[in-house]
Structure 1
Amino acid sequence: MKINVEIECTPEEARRAMGLPDLAPVHERYVQLMVQAVEKQATPEAFEALVRNWAPMGEAGMNFWRTMFESGSKTGG
C-alpha cells in the first residue's frame, strides 16, 4: 500500500508545524556581520578566510553543503 499526502503551506507554516525555531533574526545578524566584514576587508582572500572561519566544521562543512547542493540540483531520471 502506498499513501501520498500533499500539504500546501509556506516555509514559515511548515517550520511552525514541525516545531522548529525561527532563525530569521540570527540569519539577519549573520548577514549583517558578513557585510560589515567585507566592507572592512574587501580582498577576496580576506573574505574566503572569513567564510572558512565562520562556517560550521570549516572545510568539511563547506564540502558537505557543496555536495548536498550539487546532488539536489541534479535531475533524477
Structure 2
Amino acid sequence: MKMTIEVDCTPEEARRFMGLPDVSSLNDHLVKEMQSKISANMSLLSADDFVKSWMAFGAGAQEQFRKLMDASLKAAS
C-alpha cells in the first residue's frame, strides 16, 4: 500500500511545526557581515592594485606572468 500526504504550508509554518529554531536574525547578521567584508576588499579587485601586488613578488612573478600570457596567446592562435 502506498500513501501520499501533501502538506500546504509556508516555510515559517513548517519550521514552527517541526520545532526548529528561528535563525533569521543570525542569517541577517551574517549577510551584513559578509557585505561589509566584500565592500572593504573591493579595492583588491582594481587592476592597479593587482599589478602592484604582482610587482612586490619581484622578477620571478613577472616572468611567470609573462609565460602565462605567452601560453594563452599560443593557445588562442
For Structure 1 versus Structure 2, the TM-score category normalised by the shorter chain is 0.5 to 0.7
Q: How does 1:15-34 map to 2 (within 5 A)?
A: 15-34=15-34
Structure showing greater Rg: 2
Root mean square deviation, CA, Å: 1.1
Q: How many residues align?
A: 44
**Larger RCO of the pair (alpha carbons < 8 Å, separation 6+):** 1
Structure 1 residue runs without a partner (length 5+): 45-77
Question: In proportion to residue count, which structure has more helix?
Answer: 2
Distance 1:25 1:41 in 2: 25
> Offset at 1:32?
0.3
2:37 counterpart residue number: 37
Identity over aligned pairs, percent: 41
Q: Which runs of 4+ in 1 moved over 2 A?
A: none
